């Protein structure tokens, strides 16, 4: 008789919990079957398949509560343009910038035209003639060393080398020109001071009047091109360095 009453009590207890879900039930959706039968839970919710409710195996993740930390160098700079599109005014914002112009003395009358063209065009970008220091060396081969020594002083924001390398009838002038230009590239990579080349070598050079006129005009034009490239590069390098400083400060 006592055993029958215990069985009856267990059955009644089970009947009282018939409409409840257990925590170990992988199909539990947080609502009891009693609520669903009573219409307290929308049919859409109660009818949603298990694999749609919990795609990760029954343990949903609250993504909205996560805070994803990104490295500081990925932070967007709202007020900074990484790639400047216009040359700003040096005379207004960067009065202390200086440029070094190194020129070889061989065929000086021709190489002088690149210097004159360079100075005239730099004035259009806010650089006065007094902002440009002129250095003369014997030939093109001496330019890279002077460029590196000047770069190491920290005084100059940019350096230009100019020379006319011609075939003297003894050796191949292309070797000299290539060595000089490669060395100038190495200088700027090692010192992080922009270096620009107006070191030119013609296929054929004659000291006649026609050739003289052509190279006078050509070197003047190349000097102007170097000035435009120099001013634009200095502006972009300045902006990139400012951005790098801001990123380091943020870190």
Q: Is 86 annotated as a binding residue?
A: no
Q: What are phi and psi of 162, to 5 degrees?
A: -135, 135
Q: Is 136 annotated as a binding residue?
A: no
**Cα(2)–Cα(34) distance, integer angstroms:** 32
**Which residues, 6 or more positions from 177, have their beta carbon under 8 angstroms from its beta carbon?**
140, 165, 199, 200, 201
Q: Is 10 annotated as a binding residue?
A: no
Pair 194, 156: CB distance under 8 Å: no
**Cα(114)–Cα(221) distance, integer angstroms:** 7
Instruction: State yes or no: is 172 an active-site residue.
Output: yes
Q: Is 164 annotated as a binding residue?
A: yes
3-state secondary structure at position 164:
strand
The whole-angstrom distance between residue 99's C-alpha and the CA centroid of its chain comes to 24
Options 7, 17, 55, 172, the catalytic residue: 172
Cα 85 to Cα 76, 88, 235, 236, 246, distances in angstroms: 18, 9, 10, 9, 20
Q: Is 74 annotated as a binding residue?
A: no
Residue whose tokens read 């070598």:
201
* Residues belonging to the active site: 172
> Residues forming the annotated binding site?
106, 140-142, 164-166, 197, 211
> Residues forming the annotated binding site for 5-amino-6-(D-ribitylamino)uracil?
106, 140-142, 164-166, 197
> Residues forming the annotated binding site for (2S)-2-hydroxy-3-oxobutyl phosphate?
211
């Amino acid at each position: 008789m006592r055993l029958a009453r215990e069985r009856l009590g267990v059955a009644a207890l089970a009947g009282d919990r018939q409409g409840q879900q257990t925590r170990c039930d992988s199909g539990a959706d947080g609502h009891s079957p009693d609520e669903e039968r009573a219409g307290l839970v929308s049919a859409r919710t109660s009818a949603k398949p298990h694999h749609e409710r919990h795609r990760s195996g029954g343990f949903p993740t609250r993504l909205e509560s996560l805070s994803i930390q990104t490295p500081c160098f990925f932070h967007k700079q709202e007020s900074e343009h990484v790639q400047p599109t216009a040359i700003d005014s040096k005379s207004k914002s960067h009065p202390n910038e200086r440029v070094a112009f190194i020129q070889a003395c061989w065929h000086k009358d021709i190489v002088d035209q690149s210097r004159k063209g360079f100075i005239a065009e730099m004035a259009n970008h806010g650089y006065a003639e007094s902002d440009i220091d002129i250095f003369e060396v014997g030939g093109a081969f001496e330019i890279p060393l002077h460029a590196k020594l000047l770069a190491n002083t920290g005084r100059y924001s940019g350096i230009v080398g100019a020379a006319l390398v011609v075939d003297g009838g003894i050796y191949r002038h292309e070797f000299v020109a290539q060595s000089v230009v490669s060395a100038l590239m190495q200088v700027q990579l090692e010192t992080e001071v922009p270096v620009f080349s107006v070191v030119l070598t013609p296929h054929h050079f004659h000291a006649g009047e026609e050739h003289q006129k052509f190279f006078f005009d050509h070197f003047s034009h190349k000097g102007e091109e170097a000035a435009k490239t120099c001013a634009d590069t200095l502006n972009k390098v300045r902006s990139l360095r400012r951005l790098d400083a801001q990123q380091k400060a943020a870190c």
